[in-house]
């Protein structure tokens, strides 16, 4: 099977011992190898940060990140890794990001923000707005999981988020139909309406929630065409890397 080349994964839990993702170095190596076989050459590692649930210290996260960089060198993989964070929505989020308590996506102005299924649309919109006003570019993680957006058949609410300046991310498993046909249909509609900016693996292990972006890119290419797939899996993620320098100049 021919995969789109130079894919970048902007959301995954491959960094071991920091959240509910990889729990051993062996698992992390398996995930990296699988991602590489799928045509992924750049990965933003995004450990969960959720107050009272996932609060691993940045010291520990950085220690594991440097170990992973050394691991990749030893494995001789063509893979660059960056550090990010999947930030669970909290009213102290902007303050903590500004204080540098948690990283943005690879040090850019893009921030991966996750909501709960119980969050209503108002909360999501307000959080997106607050981040934008503070100079960040919010990327909403796996929006297919949020009932307030999923159940709006008109997609008007998703459109409102995009018009506000938010970026939509959906998971590869959802696109591929591994979370059920209703979710698959929802993702297809989002793509057809051009509301999606990123598709990421959100991989947690090498058994169930696996790195499968190459497989997904192939599927998306068949359904939506090469140019669309290239934009979603290669070009849009590169904008995050390009934004790192711009963001550094602003600091």
Interface positions with Fe ion (CB under 5 A): 86, 202
Comparison of 4 and 45: residue with beta carbon closer to Fe ion: 45
Map residue 120 onto helix, strand or coil.
coil
* Residues 159/123, Cβ–Cβ less than 8 Å: no
At its nearest, how many Å lie between Fe ion and the CB of residue 249? 29
At its nearest, how many Å lie between Fe ion and the CB of residue 11? 6
Comparison of 128 and 230: residue with beta carbon closer to Fe ion: 128
At its nearest, how many Å lie between Fe ion and the CB of residue 8? 16
| Residue number of the CB atom closest to Fe ion | 202
Comparison of 86 and 221: residue with beta carbon closer to Fe ion: 86
Comparison of 21 and 214: residue with beta carbon closer to Fe ion: 21
| Distance from C-alpha of 44 to C-alpha of 10, rounded to nearest angstrom | 5
At its nearest, how many Å lie between Fe ion and the CB of residue 114? 7
At its nearest, how many Å lie between Fe ion and the CB of residue 141? 6
* Residues 229/199, Cβ–Cβ less than 8 Å: no
The alpha carbon of 76 is separated from its chain's Cα centroid by a whole number of angstroms, namely 25
At its nearest, how many Å lie between Fe ion and the CB of residue 139? 12
Residue closest to 203 by CA, chosen among 71, 66, 50, 15: 15
Residue closest to 193 by CA, chosen among 145, 228, 165, 233: 228
Comparison of 141 and 221: residue with beta carbon closer to Fe ion: 141
DSSP assigned state of 235 = I
| Distance from C-alpha of 173 to C-alpha of 74, rounded to nearest angstrom | 30
Lateral strand order in the sheet of 198-200 = 48-49, 86-88, 110-114, 137-140, 167-171, 198-200
Comparison of 12 and 221: residue with beta carbon closer to Fe ion: 12
| Distance from C-alpha of 31 to C-alpha of 43, rounded to nearest angstrom | 11
Q: What is the DSSP string of 89-111?
A: --TTHHHHHHTTSS--STTSSEE
| Distance from C-alpha of 150 to C-alpha of 122, rounded to nearest angstrom | 15
Comparison of 55 and 227: residue with beta carbon closer to Fe ion: 55
């Amino acid at each position: 099977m021919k995969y789109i080349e130079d894919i970048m994964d902007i959301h995954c839990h491959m960094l071991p011992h920091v959240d509910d993702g990889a729990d051993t170095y062996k698992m992390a190596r398996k995930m990296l190898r699988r991602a590489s076989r799928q045509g992924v050459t750049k990965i933003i590692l995004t450990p969960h940060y959720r107050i009272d649930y996932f609060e691993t210290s940045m010291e520990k996260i950085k220690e594991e990140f440097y170990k992973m960089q050394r691991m990749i060198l030893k494995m001789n993989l063509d893979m660059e890794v960056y550090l990010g964070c999947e930030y669970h929505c909290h009213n102290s989020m902007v303050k903590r990001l500004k204080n540098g308590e948690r990283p943005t996506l690879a040090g850019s102005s893009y921030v991966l923000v996750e909501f709960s299924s119980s969050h209503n649309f108002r909360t999501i919109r307000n959080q997106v707005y607050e981040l934008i006003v503070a100079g960040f570019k919010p990327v909403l993680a796996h929006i297919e999981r949020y009932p307030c957006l999923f159940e709006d058949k008109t997609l008007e609410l998703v459109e409102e988020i995009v018009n506000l300046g938010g970026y939509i991310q959906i998971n590869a498993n959802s696109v591929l139909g591994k979370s059920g046909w209703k979710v698959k249909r929802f993702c297809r509609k989002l793509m057809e309406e051009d509301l999606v900016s990123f598709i990421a693996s959100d991989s947690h292990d090498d058994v169930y929630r696996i790195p499968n972006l190459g497989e997904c890119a192939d599927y998306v290419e068949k359904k939506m065409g090469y140019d669309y797939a290239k934009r979603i899996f290669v070009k849009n993620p590169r904008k995050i890397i390009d934004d790192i320098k711009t963001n550094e100049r602003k600091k």
